[in-house]
Chain A
Amino acid sequence: MVSSKSTAKKQGLINCTSCHLLCSPGSIDKNQKAHCPRCGSVLHSRKPNSLSRCWALVIAAIILLVPANLKPITITAALGQTQADTIMSGVIYFIHSGMWPIALVIFVASVFVPLLKLSLLMLLLISVQRKWRWRPRERTRLYRLTEMIGRWSMVDVYVVTILVALVKLGAVARVDAGPGAVYFAAVVILTMFAAESFDPRLIWDVLENDHE
């Protein structure tokens, strides 16, 4: 493997984000956009407005994280009693009933992963904006991690769905989905879009300018 020590951008080329064909942005259509000759996607040297889009989605997710954690995600009615559970109270319930593996799964997926993902994205955004040169390889790896783990936060949303669908035992017990579940699903979706809009190549662009 021989590295040419040169990036596509430096050579005036664009790596198609969809089909990974190295293109020269030759012909431009009437909207001033170049298209990939193989798959037809619009070519961007870097994802457009990557930083501001990512910040907007991260901030929206942080705001929604508050009602997602404070409002109940399930409302259980059993034997005449109703009980509203938030994400954390569900985790505590599992710890008290000795089911700590389940408590751990829910805690990691619903509390730890969203917080970790949002903090990592903010760290990456700040590092790019402040033009840090610190450990680009590790930061790229962190980005790939945020991309990978986000989907697993959906677990709690699915648990609610299954409980709602199953627990309809006449007058004995009934589970309803609470508003917290909707907010939480929105948080997961927003963080997934946020990770998608971040462009890891920006981490490396700072180092490129060093050599010039």
Chain B
Amino acid sequence: MTFQMTCHDCDLITQMPDIKVGKTALCPRCGSQLAQPKSNSIEHSLALVITNLILFTVAVNFPFLAMQSSGFEQQSTLISGVWLLHNQGMNSLALVVLLTCLCFPLLQMAGLLYVLLPLLFKRKLPGAIKTFLWIQKLQPWSMMEVFMLGTLVSLVKLAKLAEIIPGISLWAFALLIFTTAAQLYFLDRHQVWHQLGCADG
């Protein structure tokens, strides 16, 4: 059995046999990845989304970093950093950090749960298609891993000034980077779209 795939980067239509799990289909003309089927994609992604949500809850609610220097201690959570920027009149900066590191990732996780859980039972909830469209659109704007690199740089920068105590939130956030990467790896968007196309409303 063959089916048609169209390259999103060069528009070429390719006739393709069924792609086996573990294999990657590349566009013969421009080399873009056309498909990379995963085994039990929905189940794996769903498990990782739930993991992400738990880690995210921990990351937001517990102290991120504390800094000690000559008797002072300054503790901060992810939210308090955003709040301080806002208090300094840096509203645009506060908004950028709030959206890219907290809101967008959370919306994506909640959205994936809403879309994928019913798909296990070959069902789709109202608005599932719109939700999945938005999850895709938000993908480039979800920047938790970049934030983590920023944290590492700041830690090195501050290590000279004072003693830094990493909080539970920092560890949860670091783990979250890996589970999010794994979730992205396991999610086969073609399969989700295909199933959304045939699932009952």
Task: Output the nearest chain B residue to A93 by Cβ-Cβ distance.
Answer: B157
A-facing mask of B143-173, CB < 8 A → 1, else 0?
1001101110110111011100000000000
**A105: interface (CB < 8 Å):** yes
Pick from B28, B32, B72, B133: contact of A3, CB under 8 Å: B28
Q: Is the CB of A18 within 8 A of B6?
A: no
A114 within 8 A of B: no
**Quick check: is B30 within 8 A (CB to CB) of the other chain?**
yes
| B30 with A204: CB separation less than 8 A | yes
The answer to the question of A86 belonging to the interface, with a C-beta cut-off of 8 Å to chain B, is: no
Q: Which of A8, A181, A185, A204 lies in contact with B29, CB distance below 8 A?
A: A204
Closest to A20 in B: B8
B61 within 8 A of A: no
Residue of B nearest to A7 (CB): B11
Stretch binding the partner chain, chosen from B37-45, B46-54, B93-101, B178-186: B93-101
List the A side residues contacting B16 at CB < 8 Å: 1-2
The residues in A between 38 and 72 inclusive whose CB is less than 8 angstroms from any CB of B are 38-41
Q: How many A-B pairs fall under 8 Å by CB?
A: 204
Q: Given A7-B11, A164-B85, check contact A1 B158 (CB 8 Å).
A: no
Once A38-B197, A137-B30 are accepted as A-B contacts, the answer to whether A8 and B13 lie under 8 Å apart by CB is yes
Q: Which of A13, A19, A21, A166 contacts B154 (CB 8 A)?
A: A166
Nearest-neighbour CB distance to chain A for B147, whole angstroms, equals 5
Give the complex CA separation of A1 and B13 in angstroms: 11
Given A3-B28, A163-B157, A204-B30, answer yes or no on A17-B96 (Cβ-Cβ < 8 Å). Answer: no
Min CB gap B86→A, angstroms: 11
User: 21 A–B contact pairs at CB < 8 A?
Assistant: A3-B14, A11-B13, A20-B5, A40-B130, A105-B153, A158-B101, A159-B150, A163-B157, A164-B81, A164-B85, A166-B74, A166-B76, A166-B81, A169-B67, A172-B72, A182-B90, A185-B93, A192-B140, A192-B141, A201-B10, A204-B12
